[in-house]
Amino acid sequence: MRSFQEQYTEPEIVRLAEGLQKKPLEEALQILEGLPAEVAGEVLRHMTPEISSELLARLERREAVEILEEMAPDSAVDIMEELPQAEREELLREMEPPEAKILEELISYPPDTAGGLMSPQVVALVQDLTVEEAIAVLRRAASEAETIYYAYVVDRERRLLGVLSMRDLIMSHPKKTIAEIMHRQVVAVTADTDAEEVASLFDRYNFLALPVIDRANHLLGIVTVDDVLDVIRQETTEDMHRLVGLPKEESVLSPLRAALKRRIPWLLVNLITAFLTALVVAPFAETISAVAILAAFMPVIAGHGGNTGTQVTTLVVRGLAVGEVALGDLWRIVRKELAFGLIHGVLAGVFTAALALLLTQNPWLALIVFVAMVGNVLIAGIMGSLIPLALKRLGQDPALASAIWLTTFTDICGFLLLLGLGTLLLGRMIP
């Protein structure tokens, strides 16, 4: 076991990391400098790579190298990937050659693949060992290995032959050989397997780790479930962010300068779509001045359509991401949303019309409000499913600002319906 664990327990380290993450960089840096390298490594591992790399870059190079050498290679790579190329090469040059070689190789895999997630520190057994000997090997490997819960069985060329869990080993007779008890049907991923696909394999088989192999079946490393949790969280965050035009790396803790650069462009696009809405409303100025109360219902119709559609969009985007929905389901989804929209639209319409009647005692106005509400909710249901599916069809990320397009659409349709009907029936509303 690692020695620092006598001074710092794992929960303490996690809490320390969470605390540092919120502190100004300078302050965090000072605290980090006061920690032993192995503790600092553990702390950095629990922070978002964007911030931990920033801290690492500001440390003295000697110190940064020492910390990286102490860290598990897959965690060290997560941080180094965030650094500029030149900085990264400097660090690698100063490292002990064996460590540098491992990290260099891991960095060569794209971060969103199994290779980018894996740790090379995997326990490999040869098949003629006895169970007893295998457990001894595991005991010796324990301090360095990413996990000792699974051991993979390989031949002399390190080709993957089988797998054993710690439970398999402990429950088998000590004199049996590994070849006798190993599972030969191994689920494995190649280094270039997409991280999302790796995550869905974990979801499917419920293993705690999966072996990573190359095309010729040589064991390269292991991906553990904790790394995959990060992937799942990142993918979900990314989808949520994309829906509203935020870059995936944005967080409330991002520095102001970066936030300005990354968030303003999409907000400007959003503003321009709002102008479109204004252009739709402008020609109706006369109607609005004749029946000013119509203006009071504009945000109700538009907003409710937007909310309805966003629900659908969120469901479709999530459904596509987890593979629950495919493009072929388009008509099924639209049909259901139409039925849903009709029932919900009538409900919301009656409710809003009743309010309109109460406020104005004008049945024609109530009718207009009712029709506009039903119409806009129906449109929202259709567009809410169509926009993400269309983006997917066009080969784009279905989450790509879907919510922004959708609300632009529901705003415009809501206003057109309400003000259009109002103009048509102006004579009826004002007897």
Chain positions contacting ligand ATP, by CB under 6 A: 150, 163-165, 167-168, 183, 185-187, 207-208, 210-211
Least gap, CB of 207 to ligand ATP (angstroms): 4
Q: Which is nearer to ligand ATP, 172 or 376 (CB)?
A: 172
Q: Which is nearer to ligand ATP, 184 or 215 (CB)?
A: 184
Q: Which is nearer to ligand ATP, 165 or 396 (CB)?
A: 165
The answer to whether 410 touches 379, Cβ cutoff 8 Å, is: yes
| Phi, psi (deg, nearest 5) at residue 150 | -120, 140
How far apart are the C-alpha atoms of 388 and 313, rounded to whole Å? 7
Residue where the block lists tokens 């109360």: 293
Q: Helix/strand/coil (H, E, C) string of the chain?
A: CCHHHHCCCHHHHHHHHHHHHHCCHHHHHHHHHCCCHHHHHHHHHCCCHHHHHHHHHHCCHHHHHHHHHHCCHHHHHHHHCCCCHHHHHHHHHHCCHHHHHHHHHHHCCCCCEHHHHCECCCCEEECCCEHHHHHHHHHHHCCCCCCCCEEEEECCCCEEEEEEEHHHHHCCCCCCEHHHHCECCCCCEECCCEHHHHHHHHHHHCCCEEEEECCCCEEEEEEEHHHHHHHHHHHHHHHHHHHCCCCCCCCCCCCHHHHHHHHHHHHHHHHHHHHHHHHHHHHHHHHHHHCCHHHHHHHHHHHHHHHHHHHHHHHHHHHHHCCCCCHHHHHHHHHHHHHHHHHHHHHHHHHHHHHHHHHHCCHHHHHHHHHHHHHHHHHHHHHHHHHHHHHHHCCCCCCCCHHHHHHHHHHHHHHHHHHHHHHHCHHHHCC
The answer to whether 403 touches 411, Cβ cutoff 8 Å, is: no
How far apart are the C-alpha atoms of 186 and 222, rounded to whole Å? 13
Least gap, CB of 167 to ligand ATP (angstroms): 3
Q: Which is nearer to ligand ATP, 166 or 382 (CB)?
A: 166
Q: Which is nearer to ligand ATP, 188 or 406 (CB)?
A: 188
Least gap, CB of 249 to ligand ATP (angstroms): 32
Q: Which is nearer to ligand ATP, 150 or 297 (CB)?
A: 150
Q: Which is nearer to ligand ATP, 166 or 355 (CB)?
A: 166
How far apart are the C-alpha atoms of 89 and 186, rounded to whole Å? 37
Q: Which is nearer to ligand ATP, 47 or 209 (CB)?
A: 209
Q: Which is nearer to ligand ATP, 224 or 313 (CB)?
A: 224
Least gap, CB of 151 to ligand ATP (angstroms): 9
The answer to whether 222 touches 209, Cβ cutoff 8 Å, is: yes
Residue where the block lists tokens 């010729």: 216
Q: Which is nearer to ligand ATP, 210 or 373 (CB)?
A: 210
Least gap, CB of 117 to ligand ATP (angstroms): 15
Least gap, CB of 228 to ligand ATP (angstroms): 13
Least gap, CB of 164 to ligand ATP (angstroms): 5
Q: Which is nearer to ligand ATP, 205 or 331 (CB)?
A: 205
* Residue from 105, 111, 122 nearest 210 by CA: 122
Least gap, CB of 134 to ligand ATP (angstroms): 13
Least gap, CB of 46 to ligand ATP (angstroms): 25
Least gap, CB of 199 to ligand ATP (angstroms): 15
Least gap, CB of 186 to ligand ATP (angstroms): 4
